[in-house]
Structure 1
């Protein structure tokens, strides 16, 4: 066991305890830095959303579709035609404590003349699930509609295994992965998702879809608060280790003459 002398204290450094403490401190510092980076990323997303809100809505054309993946949050509108018999149900979506689905329809721009035109996944919004979860909700997808909304890029989820999409339509899916959806429809998909704005008059059997699109899942200040906690834990771990290892050297009394 190594002994480090500093002033009137001896620090007995158990190598195993020292290594474990340094690893724990390093991990907590890394987690704190990661939280700061996540907070900065969320702040950029909020700023980007605000800037996009200040720009006039864009009437999109077929030639613009491949480029919209580089313009997340841009407001777009167009008249589209839907594949009425093909749509996805994104499972386990919660709204105000109720379980339901996000309905992702497949649409093409109405003014296209290309039969191989890109299909656009359009998230119409949330609907409640039937009492019997084995039953699909009754939906009405119109033949066409004027839509307005925003470009959305679904983030790649952390999944333990690849998703398996049900073969029949509507197809249930756990997460709207664009690559998985494209493989399922066996046609080329636009490289983004279109989230319909809440003000767009679009109904399912006279019931409005719920469109509560959070900009970020967690506000930046909460990430920064978590970062402070991780740094505080790292400091506390160092202090506890030093206190446990410290031992005051005995004071030697001078002998009387």
Structure 2
């Protein structure tokens, strides 16, 4: 067998091989991140809820998945519908309702509600307006805010307001008053809860490991193909 140098094949391999290996290790790193997130969630789930007045809102790392208990009152007149939420293959919204407390205005994620017959028909989002006590976990989003579309135009009655992202700053501006920096996802049994439509990780750690194996496999195949096409039998 004689090695025949093909500069195009060599260049392609030199460019693609590091990329495939990088993607494999990147998926392994994502696997570890997801395991850490899941472990943190599981640990926090065993802790007793903290009173809202005792929360230090400055440290995002300490707040993630923290169980909180709050007393206050839902605001029926101004609610948000977080668009493009899928639940069991059905399109709908996550319902975000302001909850007025002695510690400030808290945005509460009450879970998933189905979309109406069309985009113009919004779901009924009323909730009790009496004083009540709720429990939930603090949601600290990771990375940049994902925006899936344009904001809906405001009509004569802009509430409930359809929004494309859980942007606390923008939602505070729409409400015209300051809100606490992170939202609360209701626990099962809390007043006002609709359908739970969230989990601590969107892709399981095992899924990221499977992706990593695929990238590493493609890297091995690339090397094998390079060798096959580079070595030839000598001409007699």
Q: Which consecutive residues of structure 1, in runs of 5 or more, have no partner in the other structure?
A: 1-8, 204-208, 252-257
Describe how 1:108-123 pairs up with structure 2 within 5 A. Answer: 108-109=100-101, 111-112=102-103, 117=104, 119-123=105-109
1:200 deviation in Å?
1.6
In the alignment, what sits opposite 2:177?
187
Report runs of 4+ in structure 1 exceeding 4 Å deviation: 158-161
Cα deviation digits, residues 145-167 of structure 1 (max 9, x gap): 21101011123244488x53543
Residues 158 and 243 of structure 1: CA distance in aligned 2, closer, same or farther (over 3 Å): farther
Distance 1:14 1:183 in 2: 61
Task: Give the corresponding residue for 1:88.
Answer: 80
Within-5 A mapping of 1:124-143: 124-143=110-129
Deviations 1:169-192 (A, max 9, x none): 211112212233233334323221
TM-score normalised according to structure 2 size: 0.88
The equivalent residue for 1:149 is 136
CA distance in structure 1 between the partners assigned to 2:216 and 2:191 by the alignment: 49
Judge conservation of contact 2:68–2:135 (CA < 8 Å) in 1. Answer: yes
Moved more, 227-236 or 132-141: 132-141
Q: 1:13 to 1:181 in 2, by over 3 A?
A: farther
Show the counterpart of 1:223.
208
Tell me the TM-score normalised to structure 1 length: 0.81
User: What RMSD over aligned residues (CA atoms) do the two structures have, in Å?
Assistant: 2.1
Q: Which of the two has greater strand per residue?
A: 1
Asked if 2 retains the 8 angstrom alpha-carbon contact of 1:77 and 1:149, the reply is yes
Give the Cα separation in 2 of the matches to 1:242 and 1:224: 27
Bigger Cα Rg:
1
CA contact (8 A) 1:32 1:228 kept: yes
Which residues in structure 2 correspond to 1:138-177 (within 5 Å)?
A: 138-143=124-129, 144-155=131-142, 156-159=144-147, 164=151, 166-167=153-154, 168-177=158-167
Give the total of aligned pairs. 230
Matched, 1:238 2:229: no
Query: Does the residue aligned with 2:93 lie in a helix, a strand or coil?
Result: strand
User: Residue 197 of structure 1 is aligned with which of 187, 202, 210?
Assistant: 187
Residue 76 of structure 1: aligned partner: 68
